[in-house]
Homo-oligomer: A and B are copies of this chain.
Amino acid sequence: MKNSESVYQTKFSERTKCVPRSFIRDILQTATSTGVISFAGGLPNKEFFPVQEIKESVNRVLLNSPHTALQYSNSEGFLPLREILSSQYQTDGIEVSPKNILITSGSQQALDLLGKVFINTNDKIIIEEPSYLGAIQAFSMYRPEFLPVNLGNDGINRESFEFLVSVADIKFAYLIPNFQNPSGISYSAERRKEIAEIAKQNNLLLIEDDPYGKISFNNQRKKSIYSYAPQNTILLGTFSKTVVPGFRLGWIVAPDAIIEKLLVAKQAADLHTDIFAQHLVCDFLSNNKLEDHLIKIRRAYALQAQEMMKSIRKFFPAEVQYTNPEGGMFLWMTLPDGLSSMELFKKTMKKKVAFVPGTPFYINRNDSNSLRLNFSCSNTDEIQEGISRMAVCVNEMLEQAKALIS
C-alpha cells in the first residue's frame, strides 16, 4: 500500500497540491467531544429546525408529486422555488426574474461554481480581511492571487478598496456585507453605496454573499449592494440559516450571460441539486410564514449574543476587543498585541472550551491574535461558563507577557 500511495502523490493536479488539509475540520472534530463547551462551530441552533412543518411538507410532496420529486430534474433548479425567491426579493424591493436564479447545492457550491467560471491561475480577487474560510477554500482550488482588504466596523476599507481597483486588474471582489462570518461586522448604508459606485465606475464584478441577512436582531435590514449596482453584482443566498442546513440548498442571482456559464458548470458539477429537498423547501415556504419562524431565531440569537458580550465584559481584561454583532451567529475577538489565539486555543481546550483561532480566516498568516466565537449553539449557562474559563486563560497569558516585559 505504502508504495502505491506515494505513487499517487505524483499524479495529483497542481491545484490540489496548493490546498492544505482543512485546519478547521480538525478543530471541529476536537470541539464535538463530549463535555466540551464549543464556540467553534458555525451551526444554526437545531432547536429551531421546523421538524413538524417539514414532516407535513414531506407528506404533501410524496402524495402530490412523488415521481417528479424523486426523478432526475433540470440543472436550473425547481421553477416554483425560484419563483418564490423572486417574489421574496420583490418584497425587499429588488427585481429578480426566476430565470436569473440558479439553485445550488448550498452556498458553498455557489462559491465553487463562481471560482470555476471566473478564475484563471493568478487572477487577482479582492476579499475582506478576515474573510469566510469556505470561500477561501473554494476559490483556492482555482489558484487566484488573493488581495485582502481590511474590514473595519463600517465594512471593507473604502480607500484601500478603491486604490486596489484603480491599480490592479481585479477579476472580482468577494464581500459579505451582513453580519459577516467570521467577524459579525455589517457594512454601513454609506459604505454599501460607495462600494457599488466604485464597482460601476470601474466595471468591477462584485460577489455579494448574504447567508445571514435575514437573521438581523432588530430586523432592520440595510439595502443590499446588489440593489445599488445590479449589473455589477452576483448575489448569493441560502436556506441553511433560515430553514435547515442539511438539505444543502442555496442559490445564485446573476445576469443572463453569467447564469448561462454557471449553468454549464453546474451541470458538469452534479447535474442538479437534490430535487426532493427543493420540493420540500418550496412546499414549506408555500404553507408556512417564514417570517414567523425567523422571529424566533432572531430573538434567541440576540439573547445569546448579548449574554456573550455581557460575559466578556464581566470576565475578560479591558485590553481585549470584540465586535458587537447585530445579527448572524458570530462575534470576533482581538487579543492584545503579542498574544497568540492558537496558544489560547491549546490552553482553553485543556479547560474544555473550543473556538476557532483567527489564522485560517486570513491569507498567508501563520498566527494571529484574533479569534471567532459562535454564540448560536450554546445556552446562557454554557456561554457564561465557557467565557469565564477562556478569561482565566487570557489573564494568565497576559500576566506572563507582562512579566516578560518587566
A residues at B contact (CB < 8 Å): 1, 4-9, 11-16, 19-22, 25, 42-44, 46, 49, 51, 54-55, 58-59, 62, 66-67, 69-73, 75, 104-106, 108-109, 112, 116-120, 123, 134, 137-138, 140-142, 171-172, 203, 205, 231-232, 240, 244-248, 255-258, 260-261, 264-265, 267-277
Q: Given the interface contacts A54-B62, A112-B268, does A118 sit within 8 Å of B70 by beta carbon?
A: no
- Chain B residues, CB < 8 A from A4: 231-232, 255
Find A25's partner among B19, B20, B75, B261 (CB 8 Å cutoff): B75
Find A269's partner among B51, B109, B273 (CB 8 Å cutoff): B109
What CA separation (Å) do A268 and B114 show in the bound complex?
A: 12
- Chain B residues, CB < 8 A from A13: 116-120, 123, 142
What CA separation (Å) do A244 and B274 show in the bound complex?
A: 11
What CA separation (Å) do A70 and B248 show in the bound complex?
A: 9
- Chain B residues, CB < 8 A from A75: 25
Shortest CB–CB separation between residue A106 and chain B, in angstroms?
5
Report the nearest B residue to A276, measured CB to CB.
B246
What CA separation (Å) do A166 and B59 show in the bound complex?
A: 57
Find A62's partner among B51, B123, B264 (CB 8 Å cutoff): B51
- Chain B residues, CB < 8 A from A119: 13
* 14 contacting pairs across A/B (C-beta < 8 A): A4-B255, A8-B255, A12-B118, A13-B119, A13-B123, A16-B265, A55-B59, A105-B248, A106-B271, A108-B269, A109-B270, A274-B274, A276-B277, A277-B277
How many copies altogether? 2
Task: Say yes or no: A5 contacts B140, CB within 8 Å.
Answer: no
Shortest CB–CB separation between residue A305 and chain B, in angstroms?
20
- Chain B residues, CB < 8 A from A123: 13
Task: Say yes or no: A67 contacts B49, CB within 8 Å.
Answer: yes
Shortest CB–CB separation between residue A211 and chain B, in angstroms?
12
Q: Given the interface contacts A8-B257, A8-B258, A257-B8, does A116 sit within 8 Å of B16 by beta carbon?
A: yes
Find A231's partner among B1, B109, B275 (CB 8 Å cutoff): B1
Task: Say yes or no: B62 contacts A19, CB within 8 Å.
Answer: no
Task: Say yes or no: A43 contacts B58, CB within 8 Å.
Answer: no
Task: Say yes or no: A265 contacts B141, CB within 8 Å.
Answer: yes
